[in-house]
Chain A
Amino acid sequence: MKFDLNSGFMYALAAIIVVFVIAQSLFFMLKAIKQAKAMGFDKKVIMRTIKTSAVFTIAPALSILLGVISLSKFLGLPLPWIRLSILGAITYELTAAASAASSLGVSVTQQITDPHVFSTIVWVMTIGIIPSVVLIPLFLKKIQRGIVKVKDKDNEWGELFITAIFLGMISAFLGVVFADVRSGIQGFIPIFVLLASAVIMIICGLLMKKYKLRWLQDYALPFSILGAMGFAIVITNWIG
């Protein structure tokens, strides 16, 4: 069998993954919508959730696509497509591929031509990412029951507890933008971008309050992301 990173076989595997992910998403979506209706949710709220989530997804999804493209230079197109469509994240995939390649003394700068190197990389990428798929079926029910217990005991504290977990996460990702400040003014760019996003959000909030623009609430975050990304281009050119 002639080895080709972009063979029809690899594309067929990618197609199967795409169908699986869409099927699972539709399954859970329909189930949740049915439950939402039974609980008396307004149809408008459901539709708004779908619309907002779709719009919100565009910019991050394009950045994932960019990850697929950058990995394709050395892994071909279908494998990064597969890996980033199911339980992937660019930071992980690149590290995993590089680690597997280096164990064979191969560099990740050019396309792979040896099928053994390729299959080693695929195995490492897969086994490295698999724990969530094993742990979730085993422990999710227990974790959720634990949360219910905390909430049954003291509902107010239960809600604060979940909020606190989230604030901890957001703090870590806010703090990390300060990591590069020692590298000079360029290291401040992520901080400026963060502030730009925050300012756009605040402006949206003020406009919403002043002019009662209900629709703006749904799109304020996508606006902040896109606005701040645009700002990143301007400020990088200006500083750089």
Chain B
Amino acid sequence: MEKNSSLKLAQVKKSRKYEDEVHVFGRIWMICAFFMMMSIPFMISVYYDAWPGFAPVFKGLLGVAPIFWTVAVIEIITYTPMLGSGGSYLGFVTGNLTNLKVPCALYAMENAQVKQGTLEGEVISTIAIATSSIVTTIIIAVGVLMLTPLTPILNSEMLKPAFDNILPALFGGLAVVYVSKNWKIAISPLLFMIVLFLLVPSLASSVSVLVPVGSLIAIGMARLLYNKGLLNTDKS
């Protein structure tokens, strides 16, 4: 018994060590990413000797910053609990979260039968996001180098509907996996969103801002059902 508990304690210590290390290295990589990203406009301005005026940059930012900075905060709050620390440090540098990294990580955790928000989930999520980032980077790089033969194919009228509909194609399959398992929690935010978009179609362009609204409804519903003992989590 005593041996068992000391073993467990050693394991906990080891996992703490991993998490702490992830935060240290994650921050270092992130700070490097920050300076690298900022150095790109800097180097372009120096190289072409073309510094932009403050006013046009400010005006340009005014058109995007209020909405995209809000989205950034929302994405951090919603995605980091699912992705875990390592996955977040990586995913928030390599980007394309909604349309690629988040579904990829969730699907990998589902297949490995580990839960989001656990150390097991964190490790699998990190491996999935790293793989996805490497494959994406290679595909884009190869694509850019082979642009001449590829452009007419990718840009063809025939394939256009396929790429126009990549998000419904992705979320349809994903919904079957998750909504069927948690339909009691999912039904109310889902109905809310469908009615909302039917009534106010123009909201489609700011769907990211509505994600936390959906999450809050889902959390509220989950709490209600949980308190009433209507959710049998072991079964799901």
Residues of B close to A135: CB separation below 8 A? 72-73, 76
Q: A56-B107, A129-B68, A161-B219 given as contacts; is B123 within 8 A of A41 (CB)?
A: yes
Residues of B close to A62: CB separation below 8 A? 139, 143, 154, 163
Shortest beta-carbon distance from B14 to chain A in Å: 7
A18, A28, A45: the one within 8 Å of B130 (CB): A28
B45, B117, B141, B163: the one within 8 Å of A66 (CB): B163
A159, A175, A229, A232: the one within 8 Å of B117 (CB): A159
Interface residues of B in 1-51 (CB under 8 A from A): 11, 14-15, 18-19, 21-23, 25-27, 29-34, 36-38, 40-41, 43-45, 47-51
Shortest beta-carbon distance from A35 to chain B in Å: 5
Residues of A close to B111: CB separation below 8 A? 48-49, 52, 217-218
Please state if A46 and B127 are interface contacts (CB–CB under 8 Å). yes
Please state if B93 and A24 are interface contacts (CB–CB under 8 Å). yes
Interface residues of A in 99-152 (CB under 8 A from B): 99-104, 115-116, 118-124, 126-137, 139-141, 143-144, 147, 151
Instruction: Give complex CA distance A171, B41 in Å.
Output: 37
A49, A120, A167, A236: the one within 8 Å of B131 (CB): A49
Interface residues of A in 22-70 (CB under 8 A from B): 22, 24-29, 31-33, 35-36, 38-39, 41, 45-46, 48-50, 52-54, 56-66, 68-70
Q: A128-B68, A201-B177 given as contacts; is B57 within 8 A of A66 (CB)?
A: no
Per-residue 0/1 for A172-201: is the Cβ within 8 Å of any B Cβ (1 yes, 0 no)? Answer: 111111111110000001110111111011
A162 interface contact, C-beta 8 A? yes
Please state if A224 and B72 are interface contacts (CB–CB under 8 Å). no
Instruction: Give complex CA distance A196, B170 in Å.
Output: 11
Question: Which residues of A are in contact with B by a Cβ distance under 8 Å?
Answer: 1, 3, 9-10, 13-14, 16-18, 20-22, 24-29, 31-33, 35-36, 38-39, 41, 45-46, 48-50, 52-54, 56-66, 68-70, 77, 81-82, 84-89, 92, 95-96, 99-104, 115-116, 118-124, 126-137, 139-141, 143-144, 147, 151, 156-182, 189-191, 193-198, 200-202, 205, 217-218, 220-221, 224-226, 228-230, 232-233, 235-237
